[in-house]
């Protein structure tokens, strides 16, 4: 046989071997199905063990654009940010700078006199698990009229209008609260003497090498725009304009963005830390506490559930949406697999159905009927 013929034959054989991965084939086929209708643009990716992540993307930067997105595009991740805020606090606790079981009066002694008595007794664990009895969201007037500054003073100004009044909810009952995570971020920056943004960079982005991580909607020339649906029409939202995201002071509850590769790396970090493989970042004991449910399958910045009828073990997950974007992150330690999905529209129902189909493809089952997102987050 001619050597050129042998080379071509060997190349085709090896290419076939590489493309023959049944998991990747199922995943790509499922992605084509879920991204075919009902989206402007969508990205999805998974990583198994130490293998190279598989990331696929489909669609333009924004509706009407001819510029197609690439795998390294950055996506707004909404309330997945909560897992970052909780992790910053857990790293501080590991150094003895904070105590998850301490009361607010001890964590914020300089403000305790201004708090209603039943706020003073709340613990950080209750706040992070949404079981503190704090109302879900700030008022519409506060969202519209308040300063957009992302700083401690802005958070203090808004929180002080709530903690001086009795708790509206019942302690111990799970009620998803964005106010709670703004409070958690305020506690972190008050105790550390640094802004929440600086803490996210110092405690997470820098040590983990999450170079695409940023705050607010992504602004790059190759990044997608979010979209709003008004009067049955989906319209793009310029990320540099007003109303492109929630106010910046809401950051600890949900304003981060990053690439899908970095989002997958974030899921891997927690999966490995809980196995004791990343003690320099987070001890196994600390990680397991973050992932141990407190109420209604919600832990501390993570939801935890078991899919009925599947040998997948506990699924750790979170989603997020500011109504213009939606993102999902989930991992199965049993399968050593992390999955992420992002869209530049705020259709959580579409994202959840897509996530179920992609998880089914990864597990090699026909379908998953159990909702993957527990609980249903209130915006962002």
Q: What value does the mean pLDDT of the chain take?
A: 90
The domain tally of the chain equals: 2
Q: Are 221 and 188 within one domain? A: no
Domain-embedded: residue 162: yes
Domain-embedded: residue 73: yes
Domain-embedded: residue 369: no
Domain-embedded: residue 349: yes
Domain-embedded: residue 354: yes
Q: Are 233 and 151 within one domain? A: no
For the cut 60, the answer to whether the pLDDT of residue 9 exceeds it is no
Q: How far is CA 9 from CA 3, 21, 141, in A?
A: 10, 19, 68
Q: Are 269 and 329 within one domain? A: yes
Q: Are 135 and 250 within one domain? A: no
Q: For position 47, which CATH number holds?
A: 3.40.710.10
Kindly state the average pLDDT of the residues 194-219. 97
Kindly state the average pLDDT of the residues 320-336. 94
Ranking 12-26, 92-106, 250-264, 313-327 by mean pLDDT, the lowest is 12-26
Asked if residues 200 and 213 have their Cβ atoms less than 8 Å apart, the reply is yes
Q: Are 60 and 146 within one domain? A: no
Q: How far is CA 343 from CA 121, 349, 374, in A?
A: 40, 12, 19
Does residue 360 or residue 214 have the better pLDDT? 214
Q: Are 251 and 156 within one domain? A: no
Q: Are 225 and 341 within one domain? A: yes
Phi, psi of 337 (to 5 degrees): -130, 135
- How remote is the C-alpha of 330 from its chain's centroid? 9
Q: Are 295 and 166 within one domain? A: no
Residue 141's pLDDT band (cuts 50, 70, 90):
confident
Q: Please give the residue range of the domain that contains residue 169.
A: 83-197
Residue 161, both tokens: 């209008």
Residue 196, both tokens: 């929440």
Domain-embedded: residue 5: no
Span 253-266, pLDDT tens digits: 999 999 999 999 99
Q: Are 237 and 152 within one domain? A: no
Residue 143's pLDDT band (cuts 50, 70, 90):
confident
Q: Are 227 and 348 within one domain? A: yes
Domain-embedded: residue 109: yes
Residue 81, both tokens: 């940010």
Q: Are 190 and 231 within one domain? A: no
Domain-embedded: residue 368: no
Concatenated DSSP letters of 346-379: --HHHHHHHHHHHHHHHHT-S---S-S-SS-PPP
Asked if residues 240 and 219 have their Cβ atoms less than 8 Å apart, the reply is yes
Residue 242's pLDDT band (cuts 50, 70, 90):
confident
Residue 377's pLDDT band (cuts 50, 70, 90):
very low
Residue 353 makes CB contacts below 8 A (sequence gap 6+) with 34
Q: Are 222 and 337 within one domain? A: yes
């Amino acid at each position: 046989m001619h050597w050129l013929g042998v080379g071509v034959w060997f190349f085709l054989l090896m290419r076939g071997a590489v493309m023959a991965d049944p998991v990747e084939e199922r995943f790509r086929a499922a992605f084509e199905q879920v991204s075919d209708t009902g989206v402007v643009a969508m990205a999805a990716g998974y990583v198994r063990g130490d293998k190279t992540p598989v990331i696929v993307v489909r669609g333009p930067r924004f509706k009407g654009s001819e510029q197609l997105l690439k795998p390294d595009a950055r996506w707004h991740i909404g309330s997945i940010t909560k897992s970052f805020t909780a992790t910053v606090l857990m790293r501080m606790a590991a150094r003895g700078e904070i105590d998850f079981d301490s009361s607010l009066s001890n964590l914020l002694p300089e403000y305790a006199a201004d708090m209603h008595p039943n706020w003073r007794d709340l613990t950080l664990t209750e706040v992070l698990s949404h079981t503190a009895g704090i109302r879900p969201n700030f008022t519409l007037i506060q969202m519209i009229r308040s300063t957009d500054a992302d700083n401690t003073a802005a958070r203090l100004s808004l929180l002080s209008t709530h903690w001086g009044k009795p708790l509206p909810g019942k302690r111990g009952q799970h009620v998803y609260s964005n106010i709670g995570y703004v409070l958690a971020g305020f506690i972190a920056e008050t105790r550390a003497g640094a802004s929440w943004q600086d803490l996210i960079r110092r405690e997470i982005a820098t040590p983990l090498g999450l170079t695409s991580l940023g705050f607010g909607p992504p602004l790059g020339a190759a990044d997608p725009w979010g979209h709003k649906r008004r009067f049955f029409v989906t319209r793009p939202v310029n990320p540099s304009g007003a109303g492109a995201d929630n106010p910046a002071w809401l950051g600890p509850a949900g304003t981060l963005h990053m690439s899908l590769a970095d989002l997958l790396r974030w899921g891997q970090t927690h999966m490995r830390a809980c196995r004791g493989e990343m003690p320099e970042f987070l001890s196994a004991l600390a990680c397991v506490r973050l992932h141990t449910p407190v109420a209604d399958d919600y832990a501390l910045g993570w939801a935890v559930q078991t899919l009925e009828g599947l040998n997948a073990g506990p699924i750790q997950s979170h989603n997020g949406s500011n109504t213009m974007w939606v993102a999902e992150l989930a991992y199965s330690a049993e399968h050593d697999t992390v999955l992420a999905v992002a869209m530049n529209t705020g259709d959580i129902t579409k994202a959840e159905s897509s996530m179920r189909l992609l998880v089914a493809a990864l597990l090699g089952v026909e379908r998953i009927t159990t909702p993957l997102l527990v609980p249903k987050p209130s915006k962002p």
